[in-house]
Amino acid sequence: MSINNSKISIIGLGYVGLPLAVAFAEKFEVVGFDIDKSRIKDLENGDDNTFEVDKKLLESVRSNITFTSDILETKGCDIFIVTVPTPIDNTNRPNLNPLIDASKSIGSILNKDNIVIYESTVYPGVTREVCVPELEKASGLIFNKDFFCGYSPERINPGDKEHTVTNILKVTSGSTPEIAKKVDNLYKQIITAGTHLASSIEVAEASKVIENTQRDVNIALINELALIFDQMGIDTNEVIDAAATKWNFIKLTPGLVGGHCIGVDPYYLSFRAEEIGYKPDLILAARQINSGMGKFIADKTIKEMVKAGKVIKDSNILILGLTFKEDCPDIRNTRVIDIIRELNDSGANIDVYDPWIDSNKKNQMFKIIKDPLVSDKKYEAIVVAVSHKQFKAYTNDDYELLSSNKKVIIDIKNIVDDPTWRL
């Protein structure tokens, strides 16, 4: 099989899969598959509700890409690239069901000499130990004889229009030396930033899971410093600015750690580590610190309200931002919800405004509202949780307009000129 003449199927058309499908569709025939029928309908109409691919770009490749929710329509493809989510369950253990289901579906239509490449974040060993057996069972084919596998970790940064799929260097790997070269050559067709061919699938899997584990640990250190400096009455951001004058200081800022990667990937690595008998104390401690930041911020909000002479029960509190990061509609594993949950438990009434989220969405814990600046409602406290460009444009007058009596502004993102308290 010649890579250049391959027909490619992308399994999963979310934040990762759709940009990848569009990139490949510029040079290859592509079939994009997703189990969400409404998602397929939107894409067929040229609409991407993740805002990762604009309508013009999507339209430019429509002659080379087919969208479907029927796995049978992917039959005949040469290469399958899996980009389904790999979340954690409510006990922080890896939930591999989406990956297993995808592997079963591919196996049902797998042909001889096909290559299945996984991009979903996993712990080392998942491709060979979990996915391959499902492919073999469903297809009746033999791994590394009848079909082959690769792993190339996704590095998409949702909402980032600079670091897009094609200009982020890509780690590649394959189940045999020959297949590894084919996988690497495949991605070289679209990745302008270049590729790095790993020596094995397991190395490639591990490289991905430590990227975000490292970031999680580093942010945990800054968050713990913020907890310490708050007790001392010292502005953490001023400390960081001073320390950052040294050439080798890594400048990070405190905050919530959520999203589909940083808040999840460390649990994949720690799960595997504990399986083989090693307790990853540092990784788990970092997760504990970062997971506790929402409660800490909620507690500070309540304390500042009390200082201002405000009653917490039945008070109105406005949360500005719900997504896990700025300027994107992605709410997966957002830790803003931790703040909301704590404040809700205190008896306050919580309104959430996020210009990137549909205001018609319903939630039992809080109300998603339309632009509060065009409303007469006043709030006893305002928590600036996400640094959307819309919120960066807010002025002191805007906060005065939204505030009831003495304003209480809790600034998590360091974007308010004169907050009551800043993380």
Residues marked active site are found at 261
Other beta carbons within 10 Å of 396: 12
The DSSP letter of residue 88 is B
Distance CA 297, CA 415 (A): 16
Three-state secondary structure call for residue 421? strand
| Sequence-ordered list of residues with C-beta below 8 angstroms from that of 74, at least 6 positions apart, any chain | 9, 11, 31, 33, 68, 80, 106, 109
Helix (H) or strand (E) holding 352: strand 349-353
Write phi, then psi, for 395 (nearest 5 degrees): -110, 170
Three-state secondary structure call for residue 242? helix
Instruction: Write down how long the chain is.
Output: 423
Strand partners, 88: 94
**Is 232:179 a contact under the CB 8 Å cutoff?**
no
- Which residue do the tokens 């819309």 mark? 390
225: left (phi over 0), alpha (psi -120 to 50) or beta: alpha
The upper half-sphere exposure of residue 142, i.e. CA atoms within 13 Å in the direction of its Cβ, equals 1
- Token pair recorded at residue 70: 């029927």
**Is 338:259 a contact under the CB 8 Å cutoff?**
no
Strand partners, 384: 320, 411
Q: What is the dihedral of CA 332, 338, 341, 342, to 10 degrees?
A: 180
Distance CA 138, CA 101 (A): 11
Tell me, what amino acid is at 77? Answer: C
320 closest CA partner among 358, 365, 254, 368: 368
